[in-house]
């Protein structure tokens, strides 16, 4: 597929409506050998300032930096939410998670929150002839009802929403169960030692410890199936490489969802002490190594030139300054002054920019080029974008918040923005339009501050105040009114794309 053809499919950033909504085509117009492979690498809790190409000096990330040099690095890309489960839901479905109840941070015993049969990123790509696989953190629920039973066939799950293959962490590294699930079953589970989970146990209580680390929820049983925390990165890299190898002769979509930077941070011994930013910096080194392993596999199999690789994060960074690092209960984590969210205010969980503005790098040799892009994009846009990439039309009722941003991913500077607005989902909702960002009246953007006295609206001009230090709501009441009305319309319509 030529670059001109790709831009024609992408349109002029008119959103998903740039592709006629006549229902999904059975197959794309492009021959199979010309369809690009897609590798979407989603880091967990990687902050805007954690990579060298985004300004980090105490952490070395040569593989991510190489992708940025060879592709497009975005400065205004956003996770759909400031925490993990809602971001993953929105990425796969093209719908803001705040529209759906039950899409907050899930436990390890929650049922699947994506309806089987719904159009998702992997289901879309399956219809285009792609092999689809997820390797890594899932955190979208498993099974039909709560609590999830891990002692038999576990479904519905990833295979029921579009994936051909799954090797997953069911929830998070700090939530039980601490086992791998491959497709529909726990790996290495001894039926004579069934898994039992108890989420009434609080982290830090004696029963919450699994392999010496306090978790959310207690686990007994499943001893032979327990993962080793310091081997998680190696396991994910190995499984990702194997998926690529198995599917090297057909188009594939690999969703590689890493865990390194999320607590508990237990980097392998070869990474410990290698950064100047404490254990968290060492975990970023581990993540960058994983990226390098994937790139090496693509090059070894002569697939790099026809593979779009995307590296990003599920939300902003966070540093556990108020408690133990969950690796050694006698230490308090330090990052030695490393600004994990760069110049941005706050971090994970917040509606300030540090909560959702994240690294986003695209490399597709010969197609994605342009160096640095300042286009406003979001992970929720990937469904409409991959539809354009594979010449498929979206049904009108699918992906209600997903815009086609393919020209931006290719490094183009379209005459009109790919998105003219974005809802940022932290502990509250905020609305972006151009350089302006509004956190409406009565809401607060950072953590526990939302509990208490009423607050005034917060309005920031991000073009000259990226750190959100100057609230100019009083100077621009007309913008407060305009943006408040826009947020209300997005909520009430049930969709934001044309």
pLDDT one-digit tens code per residue, 446-480: 544 444 333 799 999 999 999 999 999 999 999 99
**Residue 259: other Cβ atoms inside 10 A:** 27
pLDDT value, residue 319: 84
Helices (H), 273-393: 278-300, 353-356, 382-389
Predicted model pTM: 0.93
d(CA 219, CA 114): 26
Share of the chain above pLDDT 90, in %: 85
pLDDT value, residue 6: 59
Is 416 domain-assigned?
Answer: no
pLDDT higher than 60, residue 110: yes
Is 498 domain-assigned?
Answer: no
Domain end, chosen from 409, 443, 478, is at 409
| 435 & 396 share domain | no
| 121 & 241 share domain | yes
Q: What is the DSSP letter of 51?
A: S
pLDDT value, residue 136: 99
For 465, residues 6+ apart whose C-beta sits below 8 A from its C-beta are none
Task: Select from 131, 51, 47, 70 the least CA-distant residue to 317.
Answer: 47
- pLDDT band at residue 65 under the 50/70/90 scheme: very high
pLDDT, the chain, mean: 91
d(CA 381, CA 404): 6
- CA torsion 52→55→59→64, rounded to 10°? -20
| 349 & 435 share domain | no
Query: 477 burial class (0-12, 13-18, 19+ CB within 10 angstroms)?
Result: exposed
pLDDT value, residue 449: 45
The CATH number linked to 463 is 3.30.1120.10
- pLDDT band at residue 370 under the 50/70/90 scheme: confident
Is 87 domain-assigned?
Answer: yes
pLDDT value, residue 305: 98
- pLDDT band at residue 17 under the 50/70/90 scheme: very low
Task: Select from 52, 68, 69 the least CA-distant residue to 60.
Answer: 52
| 374 & 431 share domain | no
Query: 153 burial class (0-12, 13-18, 19+ CB within 10 angstroms)?
Result: exposed
**Domain encompassing residue 161:** 3-409
For 365, residues 6+ apart whose C-beta sits below 8 A from its C-beta are 70, 304, 305
- CA torsion 287→290→291→292, rounded to 10°? 120
| 378 & 458 share domain | no
**How many domains would you assign to the chain?**
2
For 325, residues 6+ apart whose C-beta sits below 8 A from its C-beta are 263, 264, 265, 279, 280, 331, 332, 333
Reading the block at residue 48, the tokens are 């805007």
pLDDT higher than 80, residue 26: no
Is 138 domain-assigned?
Answer: yes
| 10 & 64 share domain | yes
d(CA 299, CA 45): 28
| 402 & 323 share domain | yes
pLDDT higher than 50, residue 321: no
pLDDT value, residue 334: 73
| 277 & 402 share domain | yes
The CATH number linked to 372 is 3.40.720.10
**Whether 84 is catalytic:** yes
Query: 149 burial class (0-12, 13-18, 19+ CB within 10 angstroms)?
Result: middle
Is 200 domain-assigned?
Answer: yes
Which entry of 63, 78, 139, 421 is annotated as an active-site residue? Answer: 139
Q: At what angle do helices 232-246 and 278-300 cross, to 10 degrees?
A: 20
Which entry of 64, 84, 178, 418 is annotated as an active-site residue? Answer: 84
Task: Select from 126, 118, 124, 127 the least CA-distant residue to 95.
Answer: 118
- pLDDT band at residue 335 under the 50/70/90 scheme: confident
Q: How many CA atoms lie within 13 A of 255 on its CB side?
A: 26
| 231 & 303 share domain | yes
Beta partners for residue 461, in sequence order:
436
| 343 & 472 share domain | no
**DSSP E strand boundaries for 24-120:** 37-43, 72-74, 77-78
Q: For the sheet containing 429-433, what is the strand order?
A: 422-425, 429-433, 436-439, 458-461
| 348 & 471 share domain | no
d(CA 426, CA 487): 14
Considering only the C-alpha atoms of the chain, give the largest distance between any 2 of them, rounded to a whole number of Å. Answer: 68
| 263 & 352 share domain | yes
d(CA 231, CA 235): 6
Q: How many residues does the chain have?
A: 498
Q: What value does the mean pLDDT take over residues 211-232?
A: 98
Reading the block at residue 74, the tokens are 């975005």
Q: What value does the mean pLDDT take over residues 390-419?
A: 95
**Residue 247: other Cβ atoms inside 10 A:** 21
């Amino acid at each position: 597929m030529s670059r001109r053809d790709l831009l024609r499919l992408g349109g002029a950033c008119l959103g998903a409506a740039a592709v006629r909504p006549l229902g999904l085509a059975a197959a794309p117009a492009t021959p199979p050998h010309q369809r690009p492979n897609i590798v979407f690498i989603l880091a967990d809790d990687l902050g805007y300032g954690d990579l060298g190409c985004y300004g980090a000096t105490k952490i070395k990330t040569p593989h991510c930096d190489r992708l940025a040099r060879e592709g497009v690095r975005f400065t205004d890309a956003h996770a759909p939410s400031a925490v993990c489960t809602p971001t993953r839901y929105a990425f796969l479905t093209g719908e803001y998670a705040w529209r759906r109840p039950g899409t907050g941070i899930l436990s390890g015993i929650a049922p699947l929150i994506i309806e089987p049969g719904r159009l998702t990123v992997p289901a879309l790509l399956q219809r285009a002839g792609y092999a689809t696989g997820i390797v890594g953190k899932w955190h979208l629920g498993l099974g039909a009802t709560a609590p999830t039973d891990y002692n038999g066939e576990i479904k519905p799950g990833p295979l029921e929403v579009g994936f051909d293959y799954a090797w997953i962490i069911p929830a998070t590294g700090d939530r039980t169960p601490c086992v791998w699930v491959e497709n529909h079953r726990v790996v290495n589970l001894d039926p004579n030692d069934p898994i039992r989970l108890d989420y009434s146990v609080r982290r830090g209580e004696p029963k919450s410890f699994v392999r010496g680390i306090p978790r959310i929820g207690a686990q007994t049983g499943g001893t032979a199936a327990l993962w080793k925390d310091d081997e998680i990165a190696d396991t994910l890299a190995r499984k990702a490489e194997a998926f690529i190898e198995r599917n090297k002769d057909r188009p594939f979509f690999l969703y590689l969802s890493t865990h390194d930077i999320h607590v508990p941070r237990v980097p392998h011994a070869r990474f410990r002490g290698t950064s100047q930013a404490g254990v968290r910096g060492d975990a970023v080194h581990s993540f960058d190594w994983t990226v390098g392993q994937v790139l090496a596999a693509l090059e070894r199999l002569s697939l790099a030139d026809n593979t779009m690789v995307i590296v990003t994060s599920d939300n902003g960074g966070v540093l556990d300054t108020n408690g133990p690092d969950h690796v050694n209960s006698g230490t308090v984590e330090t990052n030695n002054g490393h600004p994990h969210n760069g110049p941005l205010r706050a971090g994970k969980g917040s509606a300030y920019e540090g909560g959702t503005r994240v690294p986003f790098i695209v490399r597709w040799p010969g197609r994605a080029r342009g160096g640095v892009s300042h286009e406003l994009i979001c992970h929720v846009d990937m469904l409409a974008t991959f539809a354009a990439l594979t010449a498929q039309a979206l049904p009108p009722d699918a992906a209600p918040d997903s815009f086609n941003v393919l020209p931006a991913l290719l490094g183009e500077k379209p005459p009109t923005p790919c998105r003219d607005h974005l809802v940022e989902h932290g502990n509250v909702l905020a609305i972006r339009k151009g350089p302006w960002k509004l956190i409406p009246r009565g809401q607060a953007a950072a953590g526990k501050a939302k509990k208490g006295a009423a607050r005034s609206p917060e309005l920031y001009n991000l073009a000259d105040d990226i750190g959100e230090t100057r609230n100019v709501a009083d100077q621009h009441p007309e913008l407060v009114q305009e943006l408040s009305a826009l947020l209300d319309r997005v909520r009430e319509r049930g969709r934001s794309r044309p």
